Every structure is written in structure tokens, then in C-alpha cells.
Amino acid sequence: MTAHAFTLYDTPLRALPSGALHIPGEAALCVSDLHLGKSDRIARRGGGLLPPYEARETLARLEADIFATNARQVICLGDSFDDLAAQDSLGEAERLWLARLQAGRRWIWIEGNHDPGPVELGGSHLAEMRLGALVYRHIAQKGAEGEVSGHYHPKHRVSGAGPARAAFIYDQRRLILPAYGTYTGGLSTTDPAISALFKRPAIAVLTGSRAIPTPL
């Protein structure tokens, strides 16, 4: 696993190739936009019946990252569930799995636009939180400093080197995480919704089998 190490407001950070953010000084792992229960939500609304395996796939990757980083606290940066009802769709196996991951760790659910209400699973539920010099919230705020957020599912493409990949984006002031959930797509970093949030020089870190930094 080749991570990309950098600092934001003097906080050392590591962008992992999986799309999770490791904060070594806090023994914390931060992931955004898990969108658990997405297949259930689509089916409930009369759409296609997607393969119902995305929760276990997402949890399996999360578990691997937690163990690899020895994280003592886990921050889920919002849109952890595709909607509030999607929590009920988690099977017994997935609930137990989540409980096992939570055991002995501080677990924070930051609220997102898909899951604005309280979560019935263990852990604390917050609108946003401050950890050291950084603030963690779901959607980036205008003019914020030292901010870590998600929401936009950024993906970035290096021209001449294949399709776009989910990517971290950061500049001097803020960091946006890629979507971690299995059933998530991405928004191109060229979209003004994303690019307008950053001042050059900004860096995109591609995810994949290794984390690859490239200028935005």
C-alpha cells in the first residue's frame, strides 16, 4: 500500500490508495460517502434490483484499512447511508460486522445530505467535528480554513493515461475526500462545483493500487 503523505494546517495526513484518509497523529481514519443501502433504496423505489453485496464489500475494505492503520477512531464524513431508511436494510451480518468494527473505537457519524438525522447504530452523531487543527464536515463551506469534507465524489483524469479515478483534492486550505462506498460514481474535478473550491496550486491524489499525486 503506497500512500501519499502531506500536511494540512500542519497536520500530517496520509491519503490511502483505497480512498480513506489516515490521520496518524490522532490514530484516526476518515472515510466519506459510504452510501450503504443504495441498492435497497433503488429497489424500494421500483428501480432495478442491483446486486445486494455493496455493504459487505464496503465494510470489507473499511475493515482492511482500520486494521492496517490501527485506527483508534473512525470518522464517517456523511452520506454514510443512502437515506435514513437504508439503515434498516442492513442485514444482520452487516450490523454485527459494523458493531465488531466499532468495538473499542471512537466512532463518529457526521451527518450528510442523504442521512441528516440520527443513526440508530452505535457511535456518536455530529453535524461536524473539530480534531486538532482541522474541522470535519460533509459539505465544504465557502471561505473555510483547515477543512476536511466529502460530498462531491471527485474523480480526476490524467490525460493520456486512461479513465478518471476517484481522487482526493487539496490545496493550502482544504481537502475533499473521494467517495469510499462501493456503489458510488464520481464528479469530474473539472466541474466548476469542485474546481471553484480550490486555489492553485492544488493537488489531486488518484486512488487505485497506489496513491498518485498530480496537479489539479
User: Least distance from C-beta 48 to other proteins, angstroms?
Assistant: 5
Q: Facing residues of 147 across strands?
A: 135, 174
Please identify, using beta-carbon distances, which residue of 85 and 127 lies nearer to other proteins. Answer: 85
From the list 24-32, 37-45, 118-126, 129-137, the region that binds other proteins by CB under 8 A is 37-45
User: Checking DSSP bridges between strand 147-149 and strand 134-136, what pairing results, if any?
Assistant: parallel
Q: Based on the shown chain and the rule CB under 8 A, indicate whether residue 164 belongs to the binding site for other proteins.
A: yes
Which amino acid is located at 205 in the chain?
Answer: V
Query: Toward other proteins, which CB reaches closer, 113 or 124?
Result: 113
H or E segment to which residue 42 belongs: helix 38-44
Is the CB of residue 203 less than 8 Å from the CB of residue 215? yes
43 contacts other proteins (rule: CB under 8 A): yes
Grid cell for residue 194: 469542485
Interacting residues with other proteins between 76 and 135 (CB under 8 A): 91
The binder of other proteins chosen from 104, 158, 171, 175 (CB under 8 A) = 158
Restricted to residues 178-197, the positions that interact with other proteins (CB under 8 A) are 179, 182-188, 190-191, 193
Please give the angle made by the CA atoms of 85, 107 and 121, to the nearest 5 degrees.
30
